[in-house]
Structure 1
Amino acid sequence: MPVSKSKWLWSGICLLCAFANISTAQNLEQLGWKKGVKVSGSVSANTILYSASEMKGRRDPFNWSVNGNLNISLFGYDAPFSFSYSNQQRSFSQPFNTLSFTPQYKWVKAYLGYTAMSFSNYTLAGHMFLGAGVELTPGKWRLAAMYGRLKKEVPFNVSDSQQQAEPAFRRMGYGVKAGYGDERGSIDISIFAAKDDKNSLLYIPKDALLYPQENVAVSIAGKKTFLRHFFVDVEYAVSMLNKDIRADTGKPATGGANLFKGLLKGSPGTRYYDAVNAGIGYNGAFYSLQLRYERIAPDYQTLGAYYFNNDMRNITIAPTLRLMHGRLSLAGNIGMQTNNLDSSKAHTNKRFVGSANATFVPSDNWNFNLNYSNFTSHTRARPLNDPFFQNPYDTLNFYQVNNNVTGMVNYLFGSRERRHSIMMNVSYQRASDNSAGNDKIQLSDYYTGNLGYNYMLTPLDLTLGTSFNYYDTRISGVKSIYWGPGITAGKLWWHKTINTSFVTTYNQTKSSGEQTVSSKVSSTRLSIGYMPKPRPKDKDSRKITSRHNLGMSVSYLKQFGTLQLPAGFSELTTTMNYTLSF
């Protein structure tokens, strides 16, 4: 009878615990090892119970997960190992349970299992894969390589009309990176390639918008510091993307000049895109100035990243200033962002970006922070049916202005035994929309205020706190107010091995427009944790010391019924967790 994954998992956990106990009983000095073996890590188990009344549950009634991290150090050789397993695997089309192993020895580092690597923002940028990778950093050299599965095949489910599990082809990828240099100057070259297996899905509906893709992305980056304070950096990338490798091979479509067309077999579906990111600046003793330029071609995409912004050109300048021995810091950022670089869209958007930040710390008791940002967008749209027709009513000028101001004040006072802190945050945001030919301006205003007070009584290990939150939103004649107080309390017991906390909040929401709607919600959470102190180890011993952490929390949420929403409901969530650290 085959052994289930759960049995293998629990067997592995027992083996790790047994290894920790055996290692605890060993004194490596007696074995004649000078440096010995160092083992560290943790294993945790979590369980969540959930129930709801007067409504359908918003989550599964029972969830559990097991996570582990282990690092073995032997004569300078580090071998980290991690895993994650949960019953939520059944709800995900791509792998949720992971197993990774990242050993390292001096300047050699390996990636095994479910892992992620990054070469460049325009090639391989942190995409998870199942496979192997290596990084070598001898001296000023930087070498890296990877190979693995980026996506698992997910077949079409004909019985699932909503297709909750998103279908996907199996996608394999590989890449290499080479670089040389240090902080004063360096150059890096990276190449990443990925391809879908068009035969990994046996059935594809005719109306499905799913196509097997192939991608090769190349990046060249360099930076240099000169005259001690000046610096310059530049990166240029080309991405060759075939959005349907099932198309017949033929003359590739053009997509701009580049030097790397030979790396991808030409076909009618192949497109070439490029991106450039450059900057120059000065870093002084108390001020700095930086000018940056970034251009990403329309439809630029790499299969080595989950999400990518494209069709934009950014030009920004960012000054900073430090005064009063660093107690006062001023920073700004001003720039312009433009899209529709190839004039293929029906509208062009120009966006002004400006922000300023000031931080002032006059003493150890006071802290002030003020932030302002202004984002202005100008969209000019042309008629789709006749772009050469100059009737002013067929051209739309659309303006958007977004102003945001945020302020924070923090005050600390009291003695070492009795500490007080008061914190206040306020913010205001206004968004306005205006179209040419229309005198009416649509405004949206957002007000936010938070006030909090904390009191810490150190001799009793007691912490008390209270807070008040206020939100006011006004959009198109509809006003919504959200407010409510909160109380927190925390206490350490039994030589600080038991930690208890209590949090309760009450929030009321009221919206007024054509109809007035209000709601009242209260939330309470009680938590308790137990973490015994580890036994002190002998000075001449190299035993592994372990720490246990056992915790439990109960949360209760109640929404009261009102005249507009008579059906109230309640939710009860219980969380239990155990962590073994060694």
Structure 2
Amino acid sequence: MKASIHIAFVFLLAAFSVGAQDLEHLKVSNIWADGLRIVGGLQTEGKYYLPFNTAPRQVPYQYFIAGNVKLSLGKWVAVPASFSFTNQGFSIAHGFYGKNIAQRFNRISLKPYYKRHKLYLGTNALVFTDYTLAGHRFDGLAYEYQKSGKGIYGAVMKGRFLRRVSPLVENGILKNRPTYARHGEAAKLGYSFGKAFVELSYLHGFDKKAEDKLLDSLNVHPEENQAFALKVVYPLGNWVPRLEWARSRISKIDRSEFTSASTHDAFDSGLEYKGKKVDWGFSYSRVNPGFKTFGAYYFNNDLETIATSLGLRFLENKLMTNTKLGLQRSNLDNLAAKKNSNLSIEASLVANPSEKMNVHANFSNFSAFSNFNPTYNYLKGINGYEFIDTLNYRQVNTNLSMGFSVQSEASKKIQKSLSGELIYQTNGDRLGENRNPSNSLFFTLGQQWVFGQTQFQVGYGLNYSGNKNDFGRQTLIGPYANVSKAFFKNALRISNNFVWNFSKNDANRSALLTDYFMLSYKANRSHTTYLKFNLMVNSGGQFQDSARMAKSTIESFFNLGYRYTLNAGLKKKEK
């Protein structure tokens, strides 16, 4: 009874949002012309778990019931809701936070619009630029005059970025991250010349100060942020130059009402060429140490990046190559104890001799260099050079992949396809004179048969992977196969997937057999019933003192489920 009450309340109180509403369609006659529509679904499934010769990894029986419904009236309003109920507990899925996140309250988002005018009410997120307002969610009000061809466009917002979070201390240990309530406003003004445009954006964010001695004792003080950004993009034929400059000022107020402020800059530029057979690009960006904005959840600073790319197309786009080169470095002001440098190289080749054949290859190399000097070690040195470069770390990752796919002619009754992929990876870590190399090899080859008239499919292949490092060598190899068949005009479908892998390392040998069987019956567009069976057999041994200790385990999973899909509409009858 309680479960039924819970489900009923969820449909009424689950998180809902009202999508962008076109005010030109607010006439009652237009609303009822499109009618009232309900779209949704209900799924229920029970799973039984039965292990042999091994400790159970989960409870023997599980079940869940999940559903969603979306009520829409015409083209201007939509109210979605969803729920899930299992023997693990009850939760409401909210679209903004993602799936399986329990929420105690609703989020409302209204976005009515009229031609180029758009209003944001409630909880929303906007992006002006990466250096001012960069997608941070806010609760409040915003207005946007959208970009269209040539002329002025822009947007403004005002609202709350963060709710106040009080400290949670248990046994003298802080259990959360306390914050002040953070509010702010932002604006963007731009002028478009077609593909060219100029934009100026501004953000002002501030923490609302509150008398809280516990926050002061934790050294959590209110902050204020002012950020400006100027962006220019001006295409000249096939050339597209761009330039962006930003400045951010962060002010902090401590318990003695003393205000400290710091100002930091960021710069981003690029030049692209787009031709019929050649694409080329170059970019340079620099974000000074300490730069941040209240309009972004996370920001990388103290970083300089230089990158270039070149793409070529030959033989009427049947052969394409692409190369990329990038360099990054940190510790731009030479004040940090650690300095990182990264170098990345990537090259790819794609060949399409025909519509039925594809060949591709990719090479990438990533090198990371770190130099660390403990801050106070210089106090222990006899001379000024003794503790320079006390820790040098280098990491080089190399990846090489090659693959192909070939398909038979589509006109034949039997369609065949053959595909393969080879990946080789090396990883070399070096700390001083210590080296820790490792390499890995992955290979797969498979063929698929499709019998068009009988709805019968068969596939088989081979997988291999090998890894070698300081801890030893490990290999895994095994075949796989899959088969599926449809009956009664696709109403009944049966499928089975089989994988048998053999694994070996310096101390163990094992074989893992996995079989996955599924039977589904779709009575009509709304009702589907299915049965799943999954079997895992693990037989292996461990070598100790030349004796093999064998142990085999079996795990089986039985799933029985039902799905219901709803798509119904109601229109006003014409007189």
Shorter-chain-normalised TM-score: which range? 0.7 to 0.9
In the alignment, which of 180, 189, 192 is matched to residue 200 of structure 2?
189
One-letter amino acid of the counterpart of residue 220, structure 1: L
Residue pairs, 1:76-91, within 5 angstroms? 78-86=76-84, 87-88=90-91
Q: Which residue of 2 aligns with 1:122?
A: 131
Deviates more, 1:427-436 or 1:83-92: 83-92
Q: Secondary structure at the match of 2:453?
A: helix
One-letter amino acid of the counterpart of residue 246, structure 2: A
TM-score normalized by the length of structure 1: 0.76
Deviation of 1:82 after TM superposition, in Å, equals 3.9
Q: Secondary structure at the match of 1:36?
A: helix
Q: Which residue of 1 aligns with 2:8?
A: 7
Q: 1:393 to 1:341 in 2, by over 3 A?
A: closer
Q: Secondary structure at the match of 2:339?
A: strand
Q: 1:121 to 1:396 in 2, by over 3 A?
A: same
Q: Which residue of 1 aligns with 2:23?
A: none
Deviation of 1:103 after TM superposition, in Å, equals 4.4
| % identical aligned pairs | 22
Structure 1 alignment gaps of length 5 or more: 14-30, 251-266, 534-547
Deviation of 1:321 after TM superposition, in Å, equals 0.8
1:535-555 Cα distance to aligned partner (Å, 9 max, x none): xxxxxxxxxxxxx36464636
Give me the CA root mean square deviation: 4.2
Deviation of 1:418 after TM superposition, in Å, equals 1.8
1:31-51 Cα distance to aligned partner (Å, 9 max, x none): 986993266673234456556
One-letter amino acid of the counterpart of residue 454, structure 1: Q
- Write the distance in 2 (CA, Å) between the matches of 1:196 and 1:559: 58
Deviates more, 1:133-142 or 1:341-350: 133-142
Residue pairs, 1:418-457, within 5 angstroms? 418-436=414-432, 438=433, 440-457=434-451
Contact 1:82 1:99 in 2 (8 A): no
* 1:277 and 2:271 aligned: no
Deviation of 1:164 after TM superposition, in Å, equals 8.2
Deviation of 1:229 after TM superposition, in Å, equals 1.2
Q: Which residue of 2 aligns with 1:495?
A: 489
Contact 1:191 1:219 in 2 (8 A): yes
- Write the distance in 2 (CA, Å) between the matches of 1:35 and 1:275: 52
Q: Which residue of 2 aligns with 1:332?
A: 323
Q: Secondary structure at the match of 2:235?
A: strand
Q: 1:413 to 1:119 in 2, by over 3 A?
A: same
Contact 1:487 1:505 in 2 (8 A): yes
Deviation of 1:353 after TM superposition, in Å, equals 1.4
Q: Which residue of 2 aligns with 1:528?
A: 520
1:183-204 Cα distance to aligned partner (Å, 9 max, x none): 531112233444455659x895
Structure 2 alignment gaps of length 5 or more: 15-27, 85-89, 94-99, 543-549, 569-575
One-letter amino acid of the counterpart of residue 230, structure 2: I
Tell me the matched-pair count.
Answer: 524
1:9-57 Cα distance to aligned partner (Å, 9 max, x none): 43589xxxxxxxxxxxxxxxxx986993266673234456556553343
* 1:505 and 2:516 aligned: no
* 1:560 and 2:538 aligned: yes
Contact 1:94 1:152 in 2 (8 A): no
Deviation of 1:172 after TM superposition, in Å, equals 4.3
Q: 1:446 to 1:122 in 2, by over 3 A?
A: farther
1:282-339 Cα distance to aligned partner (Å, 9 max, x none): 2222102211001122243334333332221111111111111111111111121111
In the alignment, which of 144, 147, 166 is matched to residue 135 of structure 1?
144
Deviation of 1:94 after TM superposition, in Å, equals 6.9
Deviation of 1:427 after TM superposition, in Å, equals 0.7
Residue pairs, 1:56-205, within 5 angstroms? 56-57=57-58, 61-69=62-70, 73-74=74-75, 78-86=76-84, 87-88=90-91, 100-137=109-146, 139-140=148-149, 141-152=152-163, 170-181=181-192, 184-196=195-207, 199=210
1:88-131 Cα distance to aligned partner (Å, 9 max, x none): 45985877976655444433444455543322223333334455
Q: 1:89 to 1:81 in 2, by over 3 A?
A: closer
Contact 1:88 1:96 in 2 (8 A): no
Q: Which residue of 2 aligns with 1:55?
A: 56
In the alignment, which of 362, 369, 393 is matched to residue 398 of structure 1?
393
Deviates more, 1:414-423 or 1:523-532: 523-532
Q: Secondary structure at the match of 1:471?
A: strand
Deviation of 1:143 after TM superposition, in Å, equals 2.4
- Write the distance in 2 (CA, Å) between the matches of 1:378 and 1:166: 33
* 1:580 and 2:566 aligned: yes
One-letter amino acid of the counterpart of residue 429, structure 2: D
Q: 1:380 to 1:50 in 2, by over 3 A?
A: same
One-letter amino acid of the counterpart of residue 121, structure 1: D
- Write the distance in 2 (CA, Å) between the matches of 1:149 and 1:555: 50
1:518-563 Cα distance to aligned partner (Å, 9 max, x none): 5736252526363735xxxxxxxxxxxxxx3646463636363644
Q: Secondary structure at the match of 1:122?
A: coil
One-letter amino acid of the counterpart of residue 378, structure 1: F
TM-score normalized by the length of structure 2: 0.76
Flag the structure with higher strand content. 2
